[in-house]
């Protein structure tokens, strides 16, 4: 083992990861802010409605966010080959994909909002309250995905601080917006629950405008906009969709499992749903921070893949796994030792909601390691252009094991909402094991490949992008 090389890899990955993690934290803290403000200002029923609406809206948009994550990978691969035209082509195509998917997913979110009755939740009040909330969240899909395309472009160029500062500014805007729009102030009317969604919409429009404005104004990024010999943009759009969408569906299958778990918990009652929303907010926060570490590792793997340096890819993989395990272990300890205090940040209720939520936070501690490992492995596989097999793995883990076992534990075995979380933990663990095995096996069997002359997708010995 080359200690110097590993030391440099740790340093470079952490340097890249910290601003990405902060940016990811800013994004998820918008949801946390919404949840905390709604819970404290409006009570358990609006809290449950916000949880349902946020979960379903994010479920639909997760496919687009996952698909656009390949933009940073393609940019990193092009950097590894010193191909400026490919970088420019990827960014331009990424914007087209963002608009296309944004409009599509906005329409799907709004359509779903008007058909929430199909879930047959126990609380009719939660179902009705969530409808208009989801419509507003759906409208925010286009600016969110445009911001994501610009962010992935900058991160692929090793400019992660851009998204970090923009996201932190949007977080403050979202916080102020919640205060203004939920209860009203002066000439601003009180929108109640919908005020929280409106604050998110305004924040996402700001994020989109700020990101695209930076790319246009900054010399380092504007350079790629001035490249004129950009051809085959349609082919690049197809490539992003072909490689990105399976990765997006991998993301979707996990988010969908947790979203359908929300519906399942809705069958149990209002207290269980509100408690679940509190605990899942915390788990989602750590997960999104882990995706920031994973994104940094994926960019490093993508750069190594562009150079066909499999020793560097393996080194990045080892470093990334150590970082994500250590990071998630710290959160595991915090969840176990401070679960009641963490719940008190969301709701002042001392009854059943707080009690159930505290027990669920303990369950969240259990799957922290599995959640971090699987998202790291999935990101690195995407950087190797290996997407179809991981998609099938996630489908099996979450829908073949996680959701069915959640139902069995919760209802036939009578474990209630805790049973749902036990089933989800099983799905995460299986996904982590299989995806990690897939990554190390793929790198080991691909070392003897010759380097390709172009940026086209190449066959991997042991699996391809279309395997």
- Reduced to 3 states (helix: H, G, I; strand: E, B; else coil), residue 291 is helix
Consecutive H or E run containing 459: none
Q: Which of 317, 295, 215 is nearest to 251 (CA)?
A: 295
**Counting runs of H as helices and runs of E as strands, what totals does the chain give?**
18, 0
Which residues does 154 contact at the CB level (< 8 Å), separation at least 6? 160, 162, 163, 211, 214, 215, 221
Cα dihedral sign for 185, 187, 190, 196? Answer: negative
> Band of the pLDDT at 448, cuts 50, 70, 90?
low
Using CA atoms of 337, 364, 118, 43 in order, give the dihedral in degrees to the nearest 10.
Answer: 20
Report the half-sphere exposure of 309 (CA within 13 A, side-chain side): 15
C-alpha angle 339-346-364 in degrees, rounded to nearest 5:
40
Q: Contact 13/304 with Cβ under 8 angstroms?
A: no
- Reduced to 3 states (helix: H, G, I; strand: E, B; else coil), residue 185 is strand
pLDDT at 216: 94
How far, in Å, CA of 215 to CA of 223, rounded? 9
> Band of the pLDDT at 377, cuts 50, 70, 90?
very high
pLDDT at 467: 33
Q: Which of 106, 20, 115, 34 is nearest to 64 (CA)?
A: 106
How far, in Å, CA of 311 to CA of 9, rounded? 12
> Band of the pLDDT at 466, cuts 50, 70, 90?
very low
As to burial, measured by CB atoms within 10 angstroms (0-12 exposed, 13-18 middle, 19+ buried), residue 454 is: exposed
Question: Which tens digits make up the pLDDT trace of 146-185?
Answer: 999 999 999 999 899 999 999 999 999 999 998 899 888 8
Work out the number of other CB atoms within 10 angstroms of the CB of residue 15: 12
pTM: 0.77
Question: Which tens digits make up the pLDDT trace of 78-126?
Answer: 988 888 989 999 999 999 999 999 999 999 999 998 888 877 766 677 7
Q: Contact 76/306 with Cβ under 8 angstroms?
A: yes
Q: Contact 363/425 with Cβ under 8 angstroms?
A: yes
How far, in Å, CA of 151 to CA of 204, rounded? 13
Q: Which of 281, 243, 157 is nearest to 455 (CA)?
A: 243
pLDDT at 451 over 50: no
Question: Which tens digits make up the pLDDT trace of 15-35?
Answer: 888 898 888 888 777 877 777
Consecutive H or E run containing 301: helix 270-307
Work out the number of other CB atoms within 10 angstroms of the CB of residue 6: 15
- The neighbouring-strand residues paired with 188 are 185
Q: Contact 70/58 with Cβ under 8 angstroms?
A: no
Question: Which tens digits make up the pLDDT trace of 222-277?
Answer: 999 888 777 778 899 999 999 888 878 887 887 788 878 877 888 888 788 888 88
Using CA atoms of 140, 146, 149, 151 in order, give the dihedral in degrees to the nearest 10.
Answer: -80
Q: Contact 84/157 with Cβ under 8 angstroms?
A: no
Using CA atoms of 156, 158, 164, 166 in order, give the dihedral in degrees to the nearest 10.
Answer: -70
Q: Contact 287/422 with Cβ under 8 angstroms?
A: no
- Reduced to 3 states (helix: H, G, I; strand: E, B; else coil), residue 458 is coil
Q: Contact 419/403 with Cβ under 8 angstroms?
A: no
Q: Contact 13/300 with Cβ under 8 angstroms?
A: yes
DSSP 8-state class, residue 463: B
The backbone region for 431, taken as left when phi is positive above 0, alpha when psi lies in -120 to 50, beta otherwise, is: alpha
> Band of the pLDDT at 335, cuts 50, 70, 90?
very high
> Band of the pLDDT at 452, cuts 50, 70, 90?
very low
Q: Contact 168/22 with Cβ under 8 angstroms?
A: yes
pLDDT at 430 over 90: yes
């Amino acid at each position: 083992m080359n200690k110097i090389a590993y030391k440099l890899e740790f340093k470079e990955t952490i340097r890249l990861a910290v601003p990405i993690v902060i940016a990811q934290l800013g994004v998820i803290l918008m949801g946390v802010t919404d949840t905390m403000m709604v819970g404290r200002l409006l009570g358990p029923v609006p809290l449950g409605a916000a949880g349902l609406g946020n979960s379903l809206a994010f479920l639909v948009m997760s496919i687009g966010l996952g698909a656009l994550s390949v933009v940073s990978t393609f940019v990193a691969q092009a950097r590894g080959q010193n191909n400026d035209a490919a970088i420019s082509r990827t960014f331009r195509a990424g914007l087209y994909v963002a608009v296309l998917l944004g409009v599509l997913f906005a329409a799907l979110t709004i359509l779903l909002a008007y058909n929430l009755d199909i879930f047959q939740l126990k609380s009719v009040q939660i179902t009705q309250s969530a409808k208009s909330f989801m419509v507003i969240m759906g409208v925010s899909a286009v600016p969110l995905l445009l911001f994501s395309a610009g962010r992935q472009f900058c991160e692929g160029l090793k400019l992660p601080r851009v998204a970090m500062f923009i996201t932190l500014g949007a977080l403050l805007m979202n916080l102020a917006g919640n205060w203004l729009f939920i209860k009203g102030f002066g000439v601003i009317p009180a929108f109640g629950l919908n005020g929280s969604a409106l604050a998110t919409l305004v924040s996402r429009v700001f994020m989109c405008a700020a990101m695209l404005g930076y790319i246009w104004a900054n010399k380092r990024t504007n350079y790629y906009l001035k490249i004129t010999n950009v051809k085959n943009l349609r082919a690049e759009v197809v490539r992003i969709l072909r490689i990105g969408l399976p990765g997006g569906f991998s993301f979707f299958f996990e988010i969908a499992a947790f979203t359908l778990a929300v519906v399942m918990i809705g069958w149990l009652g209002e207290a269980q749903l509100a408690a679940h929303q509190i605990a899942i907010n915390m788990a989602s926060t750590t997960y999104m921070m882990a995706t920031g570490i994973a994104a940094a590792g994926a960019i490093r793997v993508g750069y190594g893949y562009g150079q066909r340096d499999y020793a560097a890819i393996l080194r990045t993989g080892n470093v990334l796994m150590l970082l994500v395990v250590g990071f998630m272990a710290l959160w595991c300890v915090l969840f176990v030792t401070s679960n009641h205090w963490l719940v008190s940040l969301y709701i002042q209720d001392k009854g059943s909601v707080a009690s159930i939520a505290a027990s669920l936070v303990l369950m969240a501690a259990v799957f922290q390691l599995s959640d971090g490992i699987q998202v790291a492995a999935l990101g690195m596989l995407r950087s190797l252009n290996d997407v179809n097999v991981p998609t099938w793995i996630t489908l099996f883990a979450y829908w073949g094991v996680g959701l069915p076992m959640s139902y069995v534990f919760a209802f036939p075995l009578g474990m209630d909402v805790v049973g749902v979380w036990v089933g989800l933990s099983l799905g995460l663990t299986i996904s982590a094991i299989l995806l990690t095995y897939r990554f190390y096996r793929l790198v080991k069997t691909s070392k003897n490949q010759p380097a390709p002359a172009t940026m086209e997708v190449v066959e991997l010995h042991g699996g391809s992008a279309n395997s």
